[in-house]
């Protein structure tokens, strides 16, 4: 059987990884500044993460959500403490799209409405509702197009209010920092305005923290840089499992559960929870949020001031995007094949995304800056 060929591949075959480095089958060492789409949070193959999974696996890997699973409660407690949201409730899922799908469903149950406001440039996943609220018609099949979705301009509170006035809106969903769209940071003023409008019109506010959350920006959630924001629903995945598939929805205490309302076979299984718990323990014990803001600030500064070929730098902590004068594809190819550095693309052709593991150190970023300078100047000279 052949694989269903939907992914354009980089010509590298990773074989093993440790911390911020990856080795390929030829033994070449790469610096990972992308973490496989922002997934690697505490570092590849972290010893505590490996031990936690191994020990859980030796006890048992899986039983469904029809029995008591104490490690879920442990995970929820740790997540509540570390995120500063101990009163929220946790529903466990397997991926970011599934987390968003469940958040939309909860908002719709709670309001009795079906409409959703999302934003231009948004990416929320590829399942039915999640892809419908993603601003990319190319990945939305006719089957997905039946949802009641309104795409507004980010920053346009007036437009949002006009749509809310239709009385059909269950939820507003927003990435506090748009990832796939090239690291576009929503302003605090806009987020606060959305929260106010949601209250006024009885809609639920969903913060999609799948990419920006889990300490990446230096606060546990990126929206926590805006004070006083209490979203109704927050979705997480990616960094939550450091490569082990797990996702979740954090649910405001005002939203009440009911048996059968949501469900999943795999979500919250023992093995995934062991991975998720270990990730939280490492984030806390290694002070990775502090590292993210400290080194993110260093990197943003270096990109802004050292490199005139870069036209714009955006981001917070270790969630960074920058634009290059020429298209970024050639630079990224040079970075991976000549300098052995993984970086990420974005929707815009001139953007490079950096989403390194949160344990990265200054010397690694310094070596990236040197390689980037060489890459940019070589290509500029070729032109």
123 binding ligand PLP? (CB under 6 A): yes
Among 11-19, 204-212, 350-358, 373-381, the segment contacting ligand PLP (CB under 6 A) = 204-212
Q: Supply the minimum distance, in Å, between the C-beta of residue 126 and ligand PLP.
A: 6
97 binding ligand PLP? (CB under 6 A): yes
CB-wise, 88 or 119, nearer to ligand PLP? 119
Q: Rounded distance, CA 137 to CA 132, Å?
A: 9
The full DSSP string for 109-172 is HHHS--EEEEETT----SSHHHHHTSS-GGG--GGGTTS-EEEE-TT-HHHHHHHHTTS-EEEE
Q: Rounded distance, CA 278 to CA 51, Å?
A: 9
Among 63-71, 175-183, 312-320, 371-379, the segment contacting ligand PLP (CB under 6 A) = 175-183
Q: Supply the minimum distance, in Å, between the C-beta of residue 105 and ligand PLP.
A: 15
CB-wise, 131 or 302, nearer to ligand PLP? 131
The rounded Cα 80 to chain-centroid distance in angstroms is 18
Q: Report how many residues bind ligand PLP under the rule CB under 6 A.
A: 15
β-strands 319-324, 351-354 pairing: antiparallel
Q: Supply the minimum distance, in Å, between the C-beta of residue 51 and ligand PLP.
A: 25
179 binding ligand PLP? (CB under 6 A): yes
Residue from 17, 69, 172, 210 in contact with ligand PLP (CB under 6 A): 210
Q: CB of 32 within 8 A of CB of 357?
A: yes
Q: Give the CA angle between residues 244, 95, 228 to the nearest 5°.
A: 105
Q: Supply the minimum distance, in Å, between the C-beta of residue 235 and ligand PLP.
A: 7
237 binding ligand PLP? (CB under 6 A): yes
Among 122-130, 189-197, 302-310, 346-354, the segment contacting ligand PLP (CB under 6 A) = 122-130
Q: Supply the minimum distance, in Å, between the C-beta of residue 28 and ligand PLP.
A: 27
Among 55-63, 69-77, 172-180, 330-338, the segment contacting ligand PLP (CB under 6 A) = 172-180
208 binding ligand PLP? (CB under 6 A): yes
Q: Give the CA angle between residues 43, 367, 311 to the nearest 5°.
A: 100
CB-wise, 237 or 280, nearer to ligand PLP? 237
Residue from 37, 120, 147, 294 in contact with ligand PLP (CB under 6 A): 37
211 binding ligand PLP? (CB under 6 A): yes
Q: Which residue is nearest to ligand PLP (CB)?
A: 96
Q: CB of 214 within 8 A of CB of 240?
A: yes
Q: Rounded distance, CA 96 to CA 114, Å?
A: 21
Question: Could you tell me where the beta strands, DSSP code E, fall in 274-355?
Answer: 310-316, 319-324, 341-342, 351-354
Sheet of 29-32: strand order equals 14-18, 21-24, 29-32, 341-342
Among 74-82, 148-156, 206-214, 353-361, the segment contacting ligand PLP (CB under 6 A) = 206-214
Crossing angle (nearest 10°) for helices 188-201 and 157-164:
10
Q: Tokens 């936690």 identify what position? A: 52
CB-wise, 79 or 174, nearer to ligand PLP? 174
Give per-residue burial for 199-225: e unless 16+ CB within 10 Å, then b: eebebbbbbbbbbbbbbbbbbbbbbbb
Residues that bind ligand PLP (CB under 6 A): 37, 95-97, 100, 123-125, 175, 179-180, 208, 210-211, 237
């Amino acid at each position: 059987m052949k694989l269903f060929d939907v992914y354009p591949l980089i010509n590298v075959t990773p074989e093993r990884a440790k911390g911020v480095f990856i080795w390929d089958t030829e033994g070449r060492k790469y610096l990972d500044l992308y973490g496989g789409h922002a997934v690697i949070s505490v570092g590849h193959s972290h010893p505590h993460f490996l031990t936690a999974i191994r020990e859980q696996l030796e006890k048992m890997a899986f039983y469904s959500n029809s029995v008591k699973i104490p490690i879920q409660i442990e995970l929820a407690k740790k997540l509540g403490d570390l995120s500063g949201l101990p009163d929220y409730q946790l529903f466990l899922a397997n991926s970011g799209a599934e987390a968003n799908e469940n958040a939309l469903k909860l908002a719709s149950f709670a309001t009795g409405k079906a409409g959703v406001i999302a934003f231009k440039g948004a990416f929320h996943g590829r399942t039915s509702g999640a892809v419908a609220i993603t601003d990319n018609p190319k990945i939305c099949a006719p089957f997905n197009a039946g949802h009641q979705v309104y795409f507004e301009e980010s920053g346009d509170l007036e437009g949002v209010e006009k749509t809310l006035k239709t009385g059909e809106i269950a939820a507003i969903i927003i990435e506090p920092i748009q990832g796939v769209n090239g690291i576009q940071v929503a302003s605090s003023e806009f987020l606060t305005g959305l929260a106010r409008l949601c209250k006024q019109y009885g809609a639920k506010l969903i913060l999609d923290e799948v990419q920006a959350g889990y300490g990446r920006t230096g606060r546990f959630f990126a929206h926590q840089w805006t004070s006083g924001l209490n979203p109704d629903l927050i979705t997480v995945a990616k960094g939550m499992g450091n490569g082990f598939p797990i996702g979740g929805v954090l649910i405001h205490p005002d939203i009440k559960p009911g048996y059968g309302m949501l469900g999943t076979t795999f979500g919250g299984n023992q093995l995934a929870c062991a991975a998720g718990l270990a990730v939280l323990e490492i984030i806390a014990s290694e002070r990775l949020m502090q590292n993210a803001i400290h080194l993110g600030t260093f990197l943003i500064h270096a990109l802004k001031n050292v490199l005139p070929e870069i036209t714009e730098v955006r981001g917070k902590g270790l969630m960074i995007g920058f634009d290059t004068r020429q298209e970024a594809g050639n630079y990224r190819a040079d970075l991976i094949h000549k300098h052995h550095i993984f970086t990420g693309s974005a929707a815009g052709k001139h953007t490079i995304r950096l989403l390194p593991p949160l344990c990265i150190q200054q010397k690694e970023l310094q070596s990236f800056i040197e390689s980037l300078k060489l890459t940019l100047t070589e290509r500029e000279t070729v032109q």
